[in-house]
Homo-oligomer: A and B are copies of this chain.
């Protein structure tokens, strides 16, 4: 029977006590509880068991100010299949850690969009504060919103490095710069002297970090060509790279590397002999592309896990603002090797 929802008042009436007593039986301190005689306690527990009453978590949260829920905020919808391979690993890690710590997850991917069409955290329908704290996820996090978040009293941790916005932003990220630098060093060790970089050098932090790692590891003269556009015509791109005399191409996007390699081979080049291809962090499952690209693995699950733990530490007063970079494991692959010497 879909009757009205039970409240403590109902339980109290049925047990012949006051609402306060019911509440005390449910969550009084040891002191309080001991002051309620066995008999009364049992009577109340009986009614509760019989009726299947459970306390309303909303009311509870109003009073206690917390409810063991972690919000997960993303700009881009996290799940739609196109994004799934990218986001899912973060969520796996987050869920695992949250579960471990006894928290539930509130997924907020549906916030309203502002007049500029961007999703906003601080809008009137914001449900963020239902949670005790939140994790923020997504590549293109709005700077202003982030600043507002930092400014406010709402605890959060970003998954992925974020630049300071006035104050430092707590995060657990991946060390793209170091990982990229290592790949550059490896290519240099193989004897490469002319590099191509395909992908932007500005924008999101992750983009900047890759570029920084790349250019810091390289003597400037070794950069044969920087092709900032993404998803451009492979033909045109390959032409430019060959014209520049580059023997290795670094890609920020796997989606660009795949047709590039295919076309190179179609044009009679050997990979990696004539043209090495390096991808800067992939999110496709190995084997799914048919090619084992040389790259590094972004520890997405671990990032999620660690960010969650950092947030919980903050919530439970065990730690302050944390900024951590996890290292990326190199994936050897088969697309980076010594250049053929045609001299």
Contacts and interface: CB of A to CB of B under 8 A. Distances in A.
A269 interface: no
Contacts of A95: 77-80, 107, 109
A151 to B, nearest CB: 8
Interface string A77-118: 111110010001001101110110011111111100000000
Interface in A112-170: 122-130, 148, 151-153
Interface stretch (A57-65, A172-180, A203-211, A249-257): A57-65
A3 interface: yes
A67 B104 contact: no
Interface residues of A, number: 55
A50 interface: no
A100 to B, nearest CB: 8
Nearest to A99: B110
A35 interface: no
Interface string A35-69: 00000000000000000101111110110000111
A99 B75 CA distance: 12
Given A81-B92, A95-B107, A107-B104, A5 B57 contact: no
Contacts of A1: 151
Contact of A110 (B102, B122, B127): B102
A95 B149 CA distance: 25
Given A52-B152, A84-B88, A57 B127 contact: yes
A301 B80 CA distance: 10
A326 interface: no
Interface of A: 1-5, 26, 52, 54-59, 61-62, 67-69, 77-81, 84, 88, 91-92, 94-96, 98-99, 102-110, 122-130, 148, 151-153, 301
Given A57-B130, A104-B108, 14 more contacts: A1-B151, A2-B152, A2-B153, A26-B124, A54-B126, A57-B129, A58-B62, A69-B130, A77-B99, A79-B92, A79-B96, A98-B110, A105-B107, A106-B106
10 contacts: A4-B153, A54-B128, A55-B126, A57-B126, A68-B127, A79-B94, A98-B110, A104-B107, A106-B107, A130-B130
